[in-house]
Amino acid sequence: MPELNLTSAPAHLRHGSNIGQPLTRRDGVLKVKGQATYAADNHPPGMLFAVMAVSSIAHGRVTSLDVTAAKRHPGVVDVMTPDHKPQLAIDPEIKTNPFVFRMEVLQSNEVRYANQPIAVVIAETLEAATEGTVLLAPRYETLPALVGLDADDSYVPPVVGVGNPAEHHRGDVEAGLASADKRIDAIYETPPQYHNAMEPHAIVAAWNGDSLQIDMPTQGLMLSLARVAELFGIPHDKIHIRSPFLGGGFGSKGLMAGPPVLGIMAAKLVGRPVKLVLRREQMYGPVGHRAPTRQRLRIGTDAEGRLIALDHHARTVSSTFDDFYEPAADASHTLYAAPAIRTSHDAVRVNTGTPLFMRAPGEATGSIALESAIDEMAFACGMDPLAFRLKNYAEVEPITGKPFSSKALRACYDEGAARFGWAKRTLQPRQMRDDSGLLVGWGMGTATFPALMFQAEARAVLRRDGSGAMEIGAHDMGQGGWTALAQIAADAVALDIDRVTFKAGTSDLPDAGIAGGSAHTATAGAAIHSAGAAVIAKLADLATNDERSPLFGAGNAGVIARDGRLVRRDDESRSESYTDILARAGLAEVEARGTGAPNPAAMEEYAMHAHGAVFAEVKVDPELGQIRVTRMVGAFAAGRIVNPHLVKSQLFGGMIWGMSFALHEEAITDRRSGRIMNANLGEYHIPVNADVPPLDVITVEEHDPHVNALGIKGVGEIGITGSAGAVANAVWHATGVRVRRFPIRIEELLTQL
């Protein structure tokens, strides 16, 4: 199968009219009728229910489980424990590649964090399995739990995020700070946060001999498949994973975690299909979270308000047994033109599940601190926060000196500020009120997120009946892959979207890479684009080498595809339909594959980021300290917009996450036990509908010929960055009280109002 890697050909010249259209979701009807099948909706014949028992201690070991009592409960079929379980092919503690995280799959009786799985009860009914976990009445030998950012001696992690150095610097920060006319030095704290997708992690696993059928939400079909294959010692082609819909992922469903592996083990143990669904409280442990941070920012400016130095240090945590470090300080690499920048991280180990990517990992956490600090610095300079940001606008990426592949941030500032009415803002805080006497504050933040690309492959087919197909193991976790990628697919084969069968969401399709890093549309889209070009090139070969074709002799490059026909570039009156070309060639169909991948040369040359500016209005009750966000405007420049309808939704979602970061969500850990005391959705607050004000999103047009063939930068995560800081800064502007611990709590305002 010949492969074709397209470079940065300006795709829109060839493509039709599918991309850029505000189509509604193609999976919409299924979803509104309750017919979209999520993993836990499956129920193969003979299926049993598996429920995990989880640890109530954070550190120590399980000394006893009353398996007899659990098995005595009517309907309980078996109890899987460290002493009674199928053997895995490899030790789950072995990290076979950097995207493998250690997991607890009953390999020992050791407990390393609260809510760690310690047994699995399998029963004929969900009610029996659930009660069985209680009847196990685990006993423990408890060891002291490491809790919080000061739990232990700190160390400098080997890398942060995915392979980033823990420390970066450019220029002499200390000299810069020493010579600064004005400086600030402030410490910000962010809490542990949990992804809390509405859909709990779930798996339905069914073994058929040595073959394995899995229904499971995953943001990475092939990574999951490879991990299952190595853990169970079975070949890839014996495993089939279906993940047509994810009920949200946000990073927590990217890599294989322990619980779904336990589901597969349970199915093997009992020889029947098994469904294992996490209870909500069980999502606060084995499936990742955003680590807490304490960040110190030191910033200095000259007398005119120009940045001289920016020092951003972040303390974070990882688990006692594995490594993931929230790259919070790296948020300071790209936005502001300080001649001297230093970013650094250190960490402590605590008794928690290993932290993981959570929507804008590093950027969200670092951004709220950076944007707060920039706001503080602007005020110290007596400058409007927007004017200050414009004065320190980075024309090249500050940390590397590279030019940006594109950067329409200035337009974002302009259009967002105009829409918001920013010009009427008072410089001094606590100057604005509404008619009912509530304090009003306006704040802003700059948004940024890297434009990433991973690896993907797609397969395109053109059929004699004039239809086409595009196959790629892509994921839709709500971002709209079923729609946006189908739009790209339709353009890639130059057919109307209704003529193209778009297949995705299963592991037997070409590898689409991971749906993360805001890179899925770009990556999978590039593969689709490339596969489409390849299949059309094949068709063109057929036509242009056939003297009976009106396209004969035009050469592969001499034709373009449009509306199911190939057309001569130099003579548009000469064209031939796909159907005719295939019919004459005696072929039922023609197929080709294509790949999407990062372009190392372009990455070497350019800094690639999406940008945005977010403006927020809050009202604060001056006596009670209660805060409400009343208005938000976000202007984003994120390259090419495939579907404005869906992009708006994703940006709204990100902005709400930003608001939630500033005002709402926080996991509360008991410092003695290490247990999370609000592991639920009642007291772990995410915004409800009434919290969310009218939102306004502007997408600023941006043509980027360097990021990828389609010019897409991605919008999944950028909405949080900037928004969190904008809300926090608005609270300061309303009250004059600078809260540096997030989420902002009523008691922090109350005593100072």
Partner 1 sequence: MNHSISLTVNGARRDFVLDDPRVTLLDLLRERLHLTGTKKGCDRGQCGACTIHVDGKRINSCLALAISHDGADILTIEGIARGDQLHPVQAAFIAHDGFQCGFCTPGQIMSAIGMMQEAQAGSDPERIRECMSGNLCRCGAYAGIVDAVLEAQAGADESNQRRSA
Partner 2 sequence: MKQFDYVRPATVKEAIAAAAQPGAAYLAAGTNLLDLMKGNVSRPDRLVDVTHLDGLDRIDRLGDGSLRIGTLVSNADLAHDVEFAKAYPAVAEALLSGASAQLRNAATVGGNLLQRTRCAYFYDTASRCNKREPGSGCDARDGENRTHAVLGWSESCIAMHPSDFCVPLVALDAIVEVEGRGGRREIPFDELHRLPGNTPERETVLEPGDLIVAVRLPAAARGFAAHARYLKVRERTSYAFAIVSAAAALRIENGKIADARLALGGVAAKPWRARPAEEVLKGVSPTADAFQEAAWRALTDAKPSGNNAYKIELARRIVARALTLAAAGTPARIPALPASPFASSGAIHA
Which residue ranges make up the site for partner 2 (CB under 8 A)? 56-57, 73-74, 127, 130-131, 134, 424, 426, 431-436, 438, 440, 619, 621, 623-626, 628, 630, 664, 668-673, 675, 677-678, 682-683, 685, 687-691, 745-747, 750-751
Residues 337-366 that bind partner 1 (CB under 8 A): none
SS3 (DSSP) at 140 = strand
Task: Find which of partner 1, partner 2, none residue 49 binds, CB within 5 to 8 Å per kind.
Answer: partner 1
Site track 93-132 with partner 1 (rule: CB under 8 A), x = hit: --------------------------------xxxx--x-
Q: With beta carbons less than 8 A apart as the criterion, state whether 453 and 708 touch.
A: yes
Instruction: For residue 722, give both structure tokens.
Output: 């900037």
Regarding 666 and contact with partner 1 (CB under 8 A), the answer is: no
Q: With beta carbons less than 8 A apart as the criterion, state whether 514 and 520 touch.
A: yes
Scanning 30-38, 108-116, 542-550, 616-624 for contacts with partner 1 by CB under 8 A, the matching segment is 30-38
- Residue 540 dihedral angles phi and psi, to the nearest 5°: -65, -40
In the complex, what is the shortest distance from the CB of residue 119 to partner 2, in angstroms, rounded to a whole number?
Answer: 16
In the complex, what is the shortest distance from the CB of residue 645 to partner 1, in angstroms, rounded to a whole number?
Answer: 6
Task: Find which of partner 1, partner 2, none residue 54 binds, CB within 5 to 8 Å per kind.
Answer: none
Number of residues near partner 1 (by CB under 8 A): 63
Regarding 279 and contact with partner 1 (CB under 8 A), the answer is: yes
Residues 690-729 that bind partner 1 (CB under 8 A): 690, 692, 694-695
Q: With beta carbons less than 8 A apart as the criterion, state whether 270 and 48 touch.
A: yes
Residues 363-422 that bind partner 1 (CB under 8 A): none
- Cα dihedral 619→381→368→295 (10° resolution): -130
Q: Pick the closer one to partner 2 by CB: 47 or 753.
A: 753
In the complex, what is the shortest distance from the CB of residue 274 to partner 2, in angstroms, rounded to a whole number?
Answer: 20
Q: Where are the alpha helices (DSSP H) in 137-257?
A: 173-179, 221-232
In the complex, what is the shortest distance from the CB of residue 511 to partner 1, in angstroms, rounded to a whole number?
Answer: 22
Task: Find which of partner 2, partner 1, none residue 40 binds, CB within 5 to 8 Å per kind.
Answer: partner 1
Distance CA 152, CA 147 (A): 9
Q: Pick the closer one to partner 2 by CB: 131 or 215.
A: 131
Task: Find which of partner 2, partner 1, none residue 673 binds, CB within 5 to 8 Å per kind.
Answer: partner 2
Q: Pick the closer one to partner 1 by CB: 199 or 471.
A: 199
Distance CA 234, CA 216 (A): 18
In the complex, what is the shortest distance from the CB of residue 267 to partner 1, in angstroms, rounded to a whole number?
Answer: 17
Distance CA 423, CA 388 (A): 14
Q: Pick the closer one to partner 1 by CB: 629 or 712.
A: 629
Scanning 88-96, 113-121, 190-198, 365-373 for contacts with partner 1 by CB under 8 A, the matching segment is 190-198
Scanning 1-9, 166-174, 524-532, 686-694 for contacts with partner 1 by CB under 8 A, the matching segment is 686-694
In the complex, what is the shortest distance from the CB of residue 385 to partner 2, in angstroms, rounded to a whole number?
Answer: 16
Task: Find which of partner 1, partner 2, none residue 508 binds, CB within 5 to 8 Å per kind.
Answer: none
Residue pointed to by tokens 């209660």:
626
Q: With beta carbons less than 8 A apart as the criterion, state whether 594 and 538 touch.
A: no
Task: Find which of partner 2, partner 1, none residue 654 binds, CB within 5 to 8 Å per kind.
Answer: partner 1
SS3 (DSSP) at 440 = strand
Site track 127-166 with partner 1 (rule: CB under 8 A), x = hit: xx--x-----------------------------------
Neighbours of 750 (CB within 10 A): 14
SS3 (DSSP) at 315 = strand
Residues 624-663 that bind partner 1 (CB under 8 A): 645-646, 648-650, 652-657
Residues 476-495 that bind partner 1 (CB under 8 A): 477-480
Among 6, 27, 269, 273, binds partner 1 (CB under 8 A): 27
Among 32, 178, 557, 601, binds partner 1 (CB under 8 A): 32
What is the sign, positive or negative, of the torsion defined by CA atoms of 134, 138, 142, 147? Answer: negative
Task: Find which of partner 1, partner 2, none residue 196 binds, CB within 5 to 8 Å per kind.
Answer: partner 1
Regarding 682 and contact with partner 1 (CB under 8 A), the answer is: yes
Task: Find which of partner 1, partner 2, none residue 438 binds, CB within 5 to 8 Å per kind.
Answer: partner 2
SS3 (DSSP) at 485 = helix
Sheet strand arrangement including 110-111: 110-111, 60-64, 139-142
DSSP designation for 409 = H
Task: Find which of partner 1, partner 2, none residue 426 binds, CB within 5 to 8 Å per kind.
Answer: partner 2
Which of left, alpha, beta for 137 (phi over 0: left; psi -120 to 50: alpha)? left
Q: Pick the closer one to partner 1 by CB: 250 or 422.
A: 250
DSSP-derived secondary structure for 341-397: EEEEEEEEEESSPPP---SSTTHHHHHHHHHHHHHHHHHHTT--HHHHHHHTB-SB-
Distance CA 51, CA 325 (A): 30
Which of left, alpha, beta for 494 (phi over 0: left; psi -120 to 50: alpha)? left
Scanning 106-114, 362-370, 545-553, 685-693 for contacts with partner 1 by CB under 8 A, the matching segment is 685-693
Q: Where are the alpha helices (DSSP H) in 694-752?
A: 723-735, 746-750
Which of left, alpha, beta for 37 (phi over 0: left; psi -120 to 50: alpha)? beta
Among 34, 45, 235, 600, binds partner 1 (CB under 8 A): 34
Site track 213-252 with partner 1 (rule: CB under 8 A), x = hit: --------------------------------xxxxxx--
Task: Find which of partner 2, partner 1, none residue 695 binds, CB within 5 to 8 Å per kind.
Answer: partner 1
Closest listed residue to residue 703, CA positions, set 2, 8, 124, 4: 8
- Residue 674 dihedral angles phi and psi, to the nearest 5°: 80, 5
Q: Pick the closer one to partner 1 by CB: 100 or 633.
A: 633
Regarding 677 and contact with partner 1 (CB under 8 A), the answer is: no
What is the sign, positive or negative, of the torsion defined by CA atoms of 317, 664, 369, 719? Answer: positive
Q: Pick the closer one to partner 2 by CB: 103 or 432.
A: 432
Task: Find which of partner 1, partner 2, none residue 655 binds, CB within 5 to 8 Å per kind.
Answer: partner 1
Among 17, 43, 98, 555, binds partner 1 (CB under 8 A): 43
Closest listed residue to residue 752, CA positions, set 724, 731, 722: 731
- Tally of residues, the chain: 753
Burial 471-500 (b: 16+ CB within 10 A, else e): bbbbbbbbbbbbbbbbbbbbbbbbbebebb
Task: Find which of partner 2, partner 1, none residue 28 binds, CB within 5 to 8 Å per kind.
Answer: partner 1
Which of left, alpha, beta for 565 (phi over 0: left; psi -120 to 50: alpha)? beta
Residue pointed to by tokens 């990021």:
707
Closest listed residue to residue 230, CA positions, set 251, 256, 249, 248: 256
- List, in sequence order, every residue forming a beta bridge with 295; answer none if it has no partner: 188, 314
Q: Pick the closer one to partner 1 by CB: 113 or 684.
A: 684
Q: With beta carbons less than 8 A apart as the criterion, state whether 413 and 386 touch.
A: yes
In the complex, what is the shortest distance from the CB of residue 79 to partner 2, in angstroms, rounded to a whole number?
Answer: 17
In the complex, what is the shortest distance from the CB of residue 241 to partner 2, in angstroms, rounded to a whole number?
Answer: 30
Regarding 49 and contact with partner 1 (CB under 8 A), the answer is: yes
Closest listed residue to residue 413, CA positions, set 381, 431, 390, 442: 390
What is the binding site for partner 1 (CB under 8 A)? Answer: 24-25, 27-38, 40-41, 43, 49, 125-128, 131, 196-200, 245-250, 277, 279-280, 477-480, 645-646, 648-650, 652-657, 680-682, 686-690, 692, 694-695
